[in-house]
Amino acid sequence: MRVYNFSAGPAVLPLEVLEKAQSEFVCFQDSGMSVMEMSHRSKAYSQIIEGTEAKLRQLMQIPDTYKVLFLQGGASLQFTMVPMNLMTGSKKADFIDTGVWSSKAIKEAKKFGKANVIASSKADTYSYIPTYKKEQFDKEADYVYICQNNTIYGTKFNTLPNTGNVPLVADLSSCILSEKMDVNRYGIIFAGAQKNLGPAGVTVVIIREDLIGRVDESIPTMLNYKTHAANDSMFNTPPTYAIYMLGLVLEWMLAQGGIEVIEKKNKEKASILYDYLDTSKLFRGTAAKEDRSLMNIPFVTGDETLDAAFVKAATAKGLVNLKGHRSVGGMRASIYNAMPIDGVKALVDFMKQFERQHEEGIL
Ligand SMILES: *Cc1c(COP(=O)(O)O)cnc(C)c1O
């Protein structure tokens, strides 16, 4: 039996996508073989990768002045590739520190230049997006960096920093395609696939063309964006099956009605859970209201033993992977695009029942 999987990642995939993949698993269309067995240079596979890129471009309205790359190494390798490729001018970059993932990016950037932290909410367990003034940004910086949706703490940037002519680099691993975004606002967008796009193994990088080739050829070939851009992500064998799965997820999104419909559903799902958290006497959300994420919703009862009892009881009801990240504790419901509204309703119904039983002293 399938459960409602609230994992932060790898995460739930649309059932229709899994079923389509299953139907094509052994033999893809008229190719006589599985996608996994195909040469990445075959005609059949070229159509898959080109189709995947085209669907992503359509869904996100990516301008022609941006390259789409399908890389490996996860979002974490981008923490290295970004400074390696971009910290080549003033060798300075500005960061807003909103959690573990931005801290890791800062740590890597320090290996290549000066990583200047403009603002941080670390002292309050990253429960909000810190404020900053436009004047704090260094006009000479090679880029400004943010992690737009903070998977662990359930916060997101509702407004992007205005960085002027300095390119904005954003980690969108846990929010890409969750709502409408203007690609023109960014220099580089990257996202590991296993949150909102598909299975683990492929990382999507959307990069403005003028940011490619800012570094000389002395850096490792595989870590140079230029290598992958010049070879349409085919310098070496790309993660062929993960890209195929990504293509199926994008096809599913288009069939749903595209980004506007997905955004509307995501807002509806998130508000079902937030509305309850705001009225519950037992549970409360841990992220600042004005910075709440649409995708990751952490909450607590305030009592660790009760939290653990809740997670255990929920699991028994087929509501799984609700345990919060170890740095925040409590619970976290990740409700990515593929989480059906019924999953969120089932969770809230269960929380209400748990709260009632707690009030009555049954627990
Ligand atoms: C999960 C996650 C990462 C790490 O991704 P990997 O693909 O495992 O390297 C980075 N940033 C954010 C925002 C994430 O949610």
Looking at residue 137, what is its pLDDT? 97
Pairing of strands 92-97, 143-147: parallel
Report the candidate in 346, 318, 323, 345 with the shortest Cα–Cα distance to residue 334: 323
For residue 363, pLDDT beyond 80: no
pTM metric for this prediction: 0.98
For residue 252, indicate whether it is catalytic.
no
Report the candidate in 275, 279, 63, 104 with the shortest Cα–Cα distance to residue 189: 63
Our answer on whether the CB atom of 101 is closer than 6 Å to any ligand 1 atom is yes
Looking at residue 244, what is its pLDDT? 98
Our answer on whether the CB atom of 247 is closer than 6 Å to any ligand 1 atom is no
Looking at residue 327, what is its pLDDT? 87
Residues 6+ apart with CB under 8 A from 296: 8, 149, 150, 151, 152, 153, 154, 174, 332, 333, 334, 335
For residues 112-136, give the mean pLDDT.
97
In angstroms, what is the span from residue 30 Cα to ligand 1's centroid?
36
List, for residues 135-185, the tens digit of each pLDDT value: 999 999 999 999 999 999 999 999 999 999 999 999 999 999 999 999 999
Looking at residue 324, what is its pLDDT? 96
List, for residues 218-241, the tens digit of each pLDDT value: 999 999 999 999 999 999 999 999
- Ligand-binding site membership of 101 (annotated): yes
pLDDT band at 345 (very low <50, low <70, confident <90, very high): very high
Q: How far apart are CA 145 and CA 107, in angstroms?
A: 12
Report the candidate in 257, 342, 341, 245 with the shortest Cα–Cα distance to residue 19: 245
Helix (H) or strand (E) holding 45: helix 43-60
pLDDT band at 361 (very low <50, low <70, confident <90, very high): confident
Look up tokens 């345990």; give the residue: 323
List, for residues 261-282, the tens digit of each pLDDT value: 999 999 999 999 999 999 999 9
In angstroms, what is the span from residue 79 Cα to ligand 1's centroid?
10
**What residues does CATH 3.40.640.10 cover in the chain?**
15-256
φ, ψ (nearest 5 deg) of residue 264: -60, -45
User: Of 171, 269, 291, 307, which residue is the catalytic one?
Assistant: 171
In angstroms, what is the span from residue 296 Cα to ligand 1's centroid?
13
Our answer on whether the CB atom of 332 is closer than 6 Å to any ligand 1 atom is no
For residue 32, pLDDT beyond 80: yes
CATH 3.40.50.620 fits 258-359, yes or no: no
- N-to-C CA span, the chain: 28
List, for residues 307-318, the tens digit of each pLDDT value: 999 999 999 999
DSSP 219-240: S-GGG-HHHHHHTTT-SS---H
The DSSP bridge partners found for residue 156 are: 149
Our answer on whether the CB atom of 151 is closer than 6 Å to any ligand 1 atom is yes
User: What percent of the chain lies above the pLDDT cut of 90?
Assistant: 98
pLDDT band at 84 (very low <50, low <70, confident <90, very high): very high
Looking at residue 28, what is its pLDDT? 98
Q: Two tokens at 191?
A: 């996202």
Q: How far apart are CA 178 and CA 285, in angstroms?
A: 20
Q: How far apart are CA 78 and CA 206, in angstroms?
A: 12
Q: Two tokens at 195?
A: 């949150």
CATH topology for 15-256?
Aspartate Aminotransferase; domain 2 (3.40.640)
Alpha helices (H) in 95-175, listed in sequence order = 100-109
- Residue closest by Cα to atom 14 of ligand 1: 173
Report the candidate in 83, 280, 70 with the shortest Cα–Cα distance to residue 167: 83
